[in-house]
Amino acid sequence: MRTTGATRYVPVFKRFWHEQKEIFRGEKLSIIGLGILIAFITLAIIGPYIAPYGHFHVSLDPSGFVPQDKSPSARHWFGLTRYGHDVFSQTLAGTRTAVVVGLVSAIMVVLVGGNLGLIAGYKGGWIDEILMRITDIAYGIPFLPMALVLMTLLGRGYWNIIIVIVALFWRTTSRVIRSQVLTVKERAFVKAARVTGASDLRIMYRHIAPNVLPMTFLYLSFAVGWAVIGEASISFLGFGDPDSISWGQMIHHVFAAQMFREAWWWYLPPGFCIVLLVMSTFLIGLAYEKVVNPRLKSD
């Protein structure tokens, strides 16, 4: 019987799922981190639909003015901003921004950095030299000053923030993956594939890439945290999308209104969410770190 392409890949996906379950087996902290991340992803999907108000909706009192008392209440669980916006609704809406920017940026960071590291490590010679010198130059570029320059050139918006994060965060992944490839390419199965006439692309992506996947997933989880912090930092400095809302923008508005002391309910929810989401990604990374460095399992 002739098998279709989809049928051939079913065992691959099953094996991948089984490997992930084995990686997280017994890793309580990593499972907690994974649960937190899944909870945030769920809120990112349904948050705007369950929010009691629009994130720019202005709540008014019976007199038609923004209420004087903006502290948390039964009607506004997280209170109101200075401008009458519901903090709970804005926090839910900001979840989607953080998750989308974090995941998309992290995937692109790993794709760019991983492929550059794979090519540099496998090819060696002048290709490796050029790519690593570019990486060295990238390491010398400070994130926030360069991010401000790029955002000024590109303009405000979350897709531009993603471009900036990818442009400045790929360097670590590239260097680490290259170091892994330098080791893997000297193994017997790679030499055997080369002897049988396999092309460079086939060797890189069929034989070497699967063996550096744990390291790739480790830096993917870290990259999500870096991206969330990067987006919050850029939005805090006033370069977020003016038509949307994010946790960084919420804290920016508190700072602009000079209400840090009296309006604690305005900045604590987004700040706590940033900490919790970033912490979850690093907890997930602990499980992959033990795969990369098995000596950690004995600790």
pLDDT category at 68 given cuts 50, 70, 90 is: confident
pLDDT for 112 equals 93
Residue positions counted in the chain? 299
Least confident range of 27-36, 73-82, 83-92: 73-82
Contacts of 220 (CB under 8 A, 6+ apart): 106, 107, 110
16-47: pLDDT as tens digits = 677 777 778 778 888 999 999 999 999 999 98
Tell me which of 286 and 273 has the higher pLDDT. 273
Q: Which of 57-66, 170-179, 216-225, 235-244 has the lowest mean pLDDT?
A: 57-66
- pLDDT score of 103 more than 80: yes
pLDDT at position 9: 47
* CA 236 and chain centroid, separation: 17
Residue with tokens 């992506």: 205
Domains, the chain: 22-60+75-298 (1.10.3720.10)
Query: 173 and 114 in contact (C-beta within 8 Å)?
Result: yes
Query: What whole-number distance in Å separates Cα of residue 258 and Cα of residue 99?
Result: 28
The mean per-residue pLDDT over the stretch 156-177 comes to 90
Q: How confident is the model at residue 206 (pLDDT cuts 50, 70, 90)?
A: confident
Per residue in 219-269, pLDDT (tens digit) is 888 899 999 999 999 999 888 888 888 999 999 988 888 777 778 888 899
Residue 193 · residue 202 · CB < 8 Å: yes
Cα gap 227→101, rounded to integer Å: 7
Q: What's the confidence (pLDDT) of residue 27?
A: 82
Cα distance between residue 72 and residue 95, in whole Å: 20
State the pLDDT at residue 298.
56
pLDDT for residue 62: 76
DSSP calls for 206-244: IIIGGGGHHHHHHHHHHHHHHHHHHHHHHIIIIIS-TTS
Lowest mean pLDDT among 43-52, 72-81, 270-279: 72-81
3-state secondary structure of 85: strand
CA angle, 62 as apex, 59 and 67 as ends, to 5°?
Answer: 50
Task: pLDDT band for 295, please (50, 70, 90 cuts).
Answer: low
Q: What is the DSSP letter of 84?
A: S
Q: What percent of the chain has pLDDT over 70?
A: 93
Cα–Cα distances (Å) from 14 to 60, 212, 299, in that order, read 54, 19, 30
Q: Which of 230, 106, 112 is nearest to 174 (CA)?
A: 112
**Contact at 8 Å (CB) between 284 and 33?**
yes
Pull the structure tokens for residue 166: 């990818």
Radius of gyration of the CA atoms of the chain, in A:
23
- C-beta separation of 252 from 240 below 8 A: yes
Q: Among residues 180, 152, 20, 164, which one has the least CA distance to residue 101?
A: 164
Predicted model pTM: 0.85
Q: Tell me what pLDDT residue 189 has.
A: 86
Judge contact between 96 and 274, C-beta under 8 A.
no
Residue 65's pLDDT band, with cuts at 50, 70 and 90, is: confident
Phi, psi of 178 (to 5 degrees): -60, -45
Whole-angstrom CA distances from 82 to 44, 71, 91, 92 are 25, 10, 15, 18
